[in-house]
């Protein structure tokens, strides 16, 4: 009685190989050399089939991308472009009409009722010291009478910096570059000069900010001085040393805290002033460092934002990253 063999054993028999040879699928088996040669041919056929399949997939992918991103023959893109042009024209026409309407409503040149001739400027000059406590009339006007405008300007600086970060930031995952190409080549003269100048520059910038309500200066000018000191230090000692105390995270935190403090402080002033409520913040003695109410605090907030913005702009345009 014959026994039933497994499929693997049957495939090793002569009858199976002979039947495959008759069908033209394999070379006639005669010895182990033929088996190894047959196996090599089979593997070569598999590799060839895999290459053909891979090429076919790549070709289909290219055709798909070409059909999807065909800007000339894609119907959806053509329709979008037409709609975009129409809305662009409508928006420009609307904007021009609004501007012309605003200009037509302006008072005539030289009119006695113009703001330049009314009581606003006289109020700033005559009662600025009494109402703001600031010896510097310009600072009192910017950070008290028109503090809301200054708040908007500070936010514009912060938003502009965020935009530059988005547009110029390098992708660390796809690009590995050494910071050495941006570092100074150990310039002894530059580093020596920086060691001498950077501390006085920082001190002078702080003085300009803190004394902005007493004389010429303030947050914008003092922040610009400190920002220039940071840039000088960076050019002299490079990113490695500068990033020990000032990074992108540092800038974001400082700017957020400064803008939040400014907003909270002036919201309090706006609320009390609009509701005719007496403010509990004293104006102090004019000429003293702790005077003029919240102006000193607001100068510090504006100065930190301006200094960080200047440094961040320089770093992003030079390197594209912190």
Going by C-alpha positions, the residue among 243, 259, 260 that lies closest to residue 311 is 243
Q: How far apart are the C-alpha atoms of 151 and 96, rounded to whole Å?
A: 28
10 Å CB burial of residue 166 (0-12, 13-18, 19+) is exposed
Q: How far apart are the C-alpha atoms of 146 and 38, rounded to whole Å?
A: 90
Q: How far apart are the C-alpha atoms of 231 and 243, rounded to whole Å?
A: 12
Q: How far apart are the C-alpha atoms of 247 and 234, rounded to whole Å?
A: 12
Position 315 confidence tier, pLDDT thresholds 50, 70, 90:
confident
3 state SS of 267: helix
For tokens 């891979």, the residue is 54
Q: How far apart are the C-alpha atoms of 262 and 153, rounded to whole Å?
A: 12
Q: Is the pLDDT of residue 15 over 90?
A: no
Q: How far apart are the C-alpha atoms of 298 and 293, rounded to whole Å?
A: 10
List, in order, residues 6 or more apart from 286 with CB less than 8 Å away. Answer: 129, 133, 134, 135, 292
Q: Is the pLDDT of residue 177 over 60?
A: no
Q: How far apart are the C-alpha atoms of 299 and 209, rounded to whole Å?
A: 6
pLDDT, tens digit, 9 for 90 and up, residues 266-283: 888 878 877 777 778 888
Q: Is the pLDDT of residue 264 over 80?
A: yes
Going by C-alpha positions, the residue among 225, 237, 163 that lies closest to residue 193 is 237
176 against 214, higher pLDDT: 214
216 against 68, higher pLDDT: 216
Q: How far apart are the C-alpha atoms of 311 and 224, rounded to whole Å?
A: 9
CB 279 within 8 A of CB 119: no
For residue 314, what are the CA distances in angstroms to 161, 164, 321, 322?
10, 10, 10, 10
3 state SS of 287: coil
DSSP 280: S
Q: Would you state the structure tokens that stand for residue 15, as one six-digit string?
A: 């009858």
- Which stretches within 105-136 are classed as H helix? 119-132
- The sign of the CA dihedral 84, 86, 87, 92 is positive
CB 229 within 8 A of CB 150: no
Q: For position 1, what pLDDT does the model report?
A: 47
291 against 1, higher pLDDT: 291
Where is mean pLDDT largest: 13-27, 152-166, 246-260?
Answer: 246-260
Of 83-97, 124-138, 218-232, the range with the lowest mean pLDDT is 124-138
């Amino acid at each position: 009685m014959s026994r039933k063999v497994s499929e693997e054993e049957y495939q090793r028999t002569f009858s199976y190989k002979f039947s495959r040879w008759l069908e033209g699928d394999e070379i006639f088996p005669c010895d182990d050399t033929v088996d190894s040669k047959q196996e090599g041919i089979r593997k070569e056929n598999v590799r060839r089939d895999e290459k053909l399949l891979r090429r076919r997939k790549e070709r289909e992918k290219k055709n798909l991308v070409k059909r999807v991103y065909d800007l000339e023959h894609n119907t959806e893109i053509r329709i979008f472009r037409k709609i975009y042009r129409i809305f662009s024209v409508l928006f420009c026409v609307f904007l021009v009409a609004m501007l012309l309407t605003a200009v037509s409503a302006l008072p005539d040149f030289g009119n006695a009722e113009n703001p330049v001739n009314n009581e606003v400027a006289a109020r700033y000059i005559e009662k600025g010291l009494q109402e703001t406590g600031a010896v510097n009339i310009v600072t009192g006007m910017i950070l008290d009478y028109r503090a809301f405008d200054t708040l908007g300007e500070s936010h514009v600086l912060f938003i502009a910096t965020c935009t530059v970060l988005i547009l110029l930031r390098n992708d660390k995952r796809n690009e590995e570059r050494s910071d050495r190409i941006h570092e100074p080549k150990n310039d002894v003269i530059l580093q020596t000069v920086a060691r001498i100048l950077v501390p006085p520059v920082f001190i002078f910038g702080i003085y300009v900010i803190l004394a902005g309500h007493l004389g010429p200066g303030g947050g914008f000018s003092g922040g610009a001085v400190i920002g220039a000191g940071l840039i000088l230090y960076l050019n002299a000692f490079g990113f490695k040393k500068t990033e020990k105390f000032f990074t992108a995270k540092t800038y974001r935190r400082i700017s957020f805290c400064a803008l939040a403090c400014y907003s909270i402080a002036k919201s309090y002033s706006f609320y009390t002033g609009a509701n005719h409520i007496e403010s509990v913040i004293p104006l102090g003695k004019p000429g003293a460092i702790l005077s003029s109410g919240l102006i000193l605090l607001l100068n510090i907030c504006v100065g930190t934002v301006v200094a960080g913005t200047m440094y961040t702009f320089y770093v992003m345009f030079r390197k594209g990253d912190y």
